[in-house]
Chains A and B, each alone.
Chain A
């Protein structure tokens, strides 16, 4: 196969990948989009085999390796519960990162194969691209592993900070640039291996100071990094499909990080520098006073909702933890039988990754046209009889609008307090992730339901 024809095929698979993302603009077109993505991938892999043209025993091994990896991937894809999606995505990011590192290593050890020079005499441009790809890939790999461990609960979700942390990261960043410079100048293997090892360390150090609820930003950011790593390798391999995909994924992750930061009203650097939640907890401690709350039970809640004409449900991470989405949908079905109008309100940073709540509700068979984003539904709270807050906290705190001293001041919140009454399902009065008391607990129109989200919802179904 000629190099030109090959390039055309890679271009086609790049275009199919663009269409795969384009399909996600609405749920109806998304399934077709995913199919485009699969076809694009099949074309890319197929023409690569033809271009190498080596169908010896090595080819057989490649097929076996693809099958082994493919079976592992398929089993994971079918077995994984939807609540574990954030961990899964973090885990997948780490694999892309490590694959980029491995491809960079093989290109470095065997440059003739990729037409980028000979061992010890690799083209400078290729060497820079390769080092960038390897470094970003390595950061993605270890960073995603830390994110995975935090999301999975194997590692504590609280931020790990120490003195001189930012200074150390800055120093390591400068060292990385120095290593790339010396690698290009001398082409000594040691620099290459050190570069990868230092990048591994940077990945760990970058993610440990970031706390659990900032994970939506972290996952999006790592998504972006995995794209830039792929693009770096794409330049080395002079492969259009890889360059296009890398750019798409890189900008996709960057946009998601931006949306997530905006949802928390924090700058990207503020999130990356980390330590949020750890420092604020102490300050809220001293100002705490006993304020009266209204405490209700499942029967009260059932009575209120049954007699309401409209109910808005506000789910949060707590719903995912309690796996309450199915019970929630049953409750809504029962309410609908009583003629109550029910809709769902999703805050951009609800859950642990972008769109987390939407997937869980979709899993519980909630039709997606009953689920609304913050801007779409926020005005409806004023006309709604009952807001049912299940597992959300900071995203409903009216303090974000009233108190400029509050760490979450300016964050867009769901105007839950405007509805006639608020049912707040929560295990205790403890403050949320941001470490601040939620003003909503003490309002006259709020009824606290102290229980596990799933158990409370099931009890409400019983009394409906």
Chain B
């Protein structure tokens, strides 16, 4: 009897929820805002779906009914990826320890 590939994906999904659970509980509360902005950035990995939607299929017509949504999603996801990672970087750069010489 063969196992449906869906079951494999479901296993990955459920195990990832557990990983997420333990990893996020260990995030220090003072970094909860950067946590939100970085999760925002990484959830924009949905851009891979958008790229496939935009590029695959018939390449003669560049913008058609089906792939125009792919292109739109690319723009939205790109805003999020760049904006999310950069703003996280900017915030994290501000967290400093007490300086000894002061």
Chain A interfacial positions (CB closer than 8 Å to B): 10, 13-14, 17-18, 20-22, 24-27, 30-31, 33-34, 37-38, 40-41, 44-45, 48-49, 52, 54, 56-59, 61-62, 65-74, 76-78, 80, 82, 85, 88-89, 92-93, 95-96, 98-100, 102-103, 105-107, 109-110, 112-114, 125, 219-220, 223, 226-227, 230-231, 233-253, 255-256, 259, 346, 348, 353-356, 358-359, 362-363, 365, 367-371, 373
Contacts and interface: CB of A to CB of B under 8 A. Distances in A.
Given A52-B55, A110-B53, A251-B20, A74 B40 contact: no
Contact of B16 (A58, A96, A247, A346): A247
Given A49-B51, A99-B77, A106-B67, A31 B89 contact: yes
B36 A353 contact: yes
B69 A74 contact: no
Contacts of A40: 42, 45
B83 A74 contact: yes
B16 A69 contact: no
Nearest to A86: B33
Given A59-B55, A61-B62, A356-B33, A70 B67 contact: no
Contact of B85 (A41, A354, A371): A41
A37 B96 CA distance: 21
Contact of A109 (B12, B26, B66, B92): B66
Given A107-B49, A362-B94, 4 more contacts: A69-B74, A99-B76, A114-B49, A355-B31
- Which of the listed residues A68, A71, A78, A251 has the most CB atoms from chain B within 10 Å of its own CB? A251
Contacts of A348: 29
Nearest to B75: A69
A335 B72 CA distance: 53
Contacts of B89: 31, 34
A44 B16 contact: no
A62 to B, nearest CB: 6
B52 A21 contact: no
A103 B73 contact: yes
B20 A25 contact: no
A109 B65 contact: yes
A33 B35 CA distance: 11
Contact of B32 (A22, A57, A354): A354
Contacts of A371: 30
Given A99-B80, A230-B46, A362-B96, A24 B38 contact: yes
A88 B86 CA distance: 13
B95 A102 contact: no
Given A233-B49, A248-B19, A76 B41 contact: no
A52 B34 contact: no
Enumerate the 10 nearest inter-chain pairs by beta-carbon distance, A residue then B residue, closest first.
A69-B78, A355-B32, A73-B83, A73-B82, A247-B16, A354-B32, A251-B20, A110-B66, A77-B86, A106-B53
Interface in B87-101: 87-99
A389 to B, nearest CB: 20
A62 B86 contact: no
Nearest to A100: B46
Contacts of B46: 96, 99-100, 103, 230, 233-234, 242
A92 to B, nearest CB: 5
Contacts of B17: 247, 250-251
Contact of A77 (B45, B50, B83): B83
A256 B32 contact: yes
B45 A13 contact: yes
A68 to B, nearest CB: 6
Given A52-B56, A230-B46, A34 B16 contact: no
A180 to B, nearest CB: 17
Nearest to B10: A235
